[in-house]
Chain A
Amino acid sequence: MSRKILISISQDNDVIVETEDYKGPMCVKDIKQLFNEFLEVDDFDHKAEYYESEEEIYSGVISKL
């Protein structure tokens, strides 16, 4: 499984950052972390996936009875 951040930079310095395969607020954390050394990023436009929760992954043992 992978998560993607797509960055588009035009010649006039217009930068668009989009996330893919994320669910929930993790995408905001990853963008902020990536841009931390550049500038404060806080003007996010959230799509539907942002409001979905991440899939729960069962890490226990399933035993057949």
Chain B
Amino acid sequence: MSTTVKLGLGLLASKGILPKEEMIKVFQDCLLELGFVNQNNSLIQNGTIIGTLTIKDRIILSVNRASVNQNLNKIEKIRTLFAHRAEVAQKDYIYQKEQAINQSKQNLDTYNKLVKELNEEKHKMQKALERQQKDSCEAIKEELIEAAINNGYEVEEIKNKESKVQLQLVRRVY
């Protein structure tokens, strides 16, 4: 071993579940409903800082490893509510897009192109929603595998006796 990093991570919103602005809006509504506050990317409940939010294409909560176990329930609560709200928001988003696409029916080439793009988007959103509905550990694993492959690693998954998931990422160096 040359270097080790230890993290307490919660995947609150999966990548691609909604367009970024929509995702943030739905997420903020969920926090409000559950009594959390996002203050300068610190997730706070009853005046206590739970962890730090990183909002990019997905939403990650990083927590102190010593308290990761006691925050598990909170992470799953947010994930579950967000999954429900995101599913509704997806339907609304797709409906709005379909309405807009139907306006372009006069030009068949444009119409077909837009329909194809929307179908691809729907597929990605559906996959992200399925991931959102899994437990956080499984969802993080899947997103890490995707990121590793995109970064040129070969990935092997090993499940050990303690039901921990282990990923071995290998990069050939020539």
Contacts and interface: CB of A to CB of B under 8 A. Distances in A.
Interface of A: 1-20, 22-23, 27-28, 30-31, 33-35, 37-41, 43-50
Given A1-B172, A12-B68, A38-B143, 7 more contacts: A5-B169, A9-B164, A11-B135, A13-B8, A37-B15, A40-B54, A46-B3
B56 interface: yes
- Determine the interface band of chain B, counting residues with CB < 8 A from chain A: 35 or more
B62 to A, nearest CB: 6
Q: Is the interface of B mostly helix, strand, loop or mixed?
A: mixed
A38 B60 contact: yes
Interface of B: 1-10, 15, 52, 54, 56-58, 60, 62-63, 65, 68-69, 72, 75, 135-137, 140-141, 143-144, 147-148, 151, 153, 162-174
